[in-house]
Amino acid sequence: MSNTRIKNLKKELLSHHRYTLNKLTFDYQLNNGEWVTQIRECYDRGNGAVILLYNKEKQTVVLTRQLRIPTYMNGNSEGLLIEACAGLLDDDNPEDCIKKETEEETGYRINHVKKVLEAYSSPGTLTEILHYFIAEYSSDMRVNKGGGAKNETEDIEVLEMPFKEAIELMKRGEIKDLKTVCLLQYAQINNIFKN
């Protein structure tokens, strides 16, 4: 970290229950040269990976639906969110992580993935960088029913749907998860369903 416009950085731990929430106080030099003191909260949950599974022959994608309590707290009446399979890296590299998460959450064992981008999730608050992948799947790759890791109390519904339906759900605002929107738009812009 070498930004000369940041100095006197102080970190105060606010919470370390599941992830780490810090209060950061620092001096920052504005574009006009003036120094100001700023206070921000910074949530560190580690980096993650996300994947869009697609089948060209069937013209389908595999998504998931699960409870996301923060969405419930912000007006999502059921708290359920449709999203692409994702997970935290923990100690894995992004490719190994997403292969493991794909099998745990969707039941598909994939061998080949393609990284398409990486991006900060919510840079105003989170430190997280997400690694975005796509991969083709077929029915014979299904090795279990998915649903998530039992020891993580996940309760994930696996959704296989036509790509066109996923795009319509996104257009109607029924898919509101940004990482999923990014991957669906990537698939649309790059015509991954064309031969």
Q: List, for residues 128-157, the tens digit of each pLDDT value.
A: 999 999 999 999 999 999 988 777 778 899
Q: How far apart are CA 153 and CA 72, in angstroms?
A: 18
Q: Which amino acid is at 17?
A: H
pTM metric for this prediction: 0.93
Mean pLDDT for all residues in the chain? 95
3-class DSSP string for 126-137:
ECCEEEEEEEEC
Q: How far apart are CA 193 and CA 3, in angstroms?
A: 43
Distances (CA, A) of 55 to 8, 42, 134, 174: 52, 38, 11, 22
Q: How far apart are CA 1 and CA 11, in angstroms?
A: 15
Please state the domain extents for the chain.
Answer: 6-44, 48-189
Q: Binding site for Mg(2+): which residues? A: 86, 101, 105, 154
CATH topology of domain 48-189: Nucleoside Triphosphate Pyrophosphohydrolase (3.90.79)
Q: What is the pLDDT at residue 187?
A: 97
- 112-121 average pLDDT score: 96
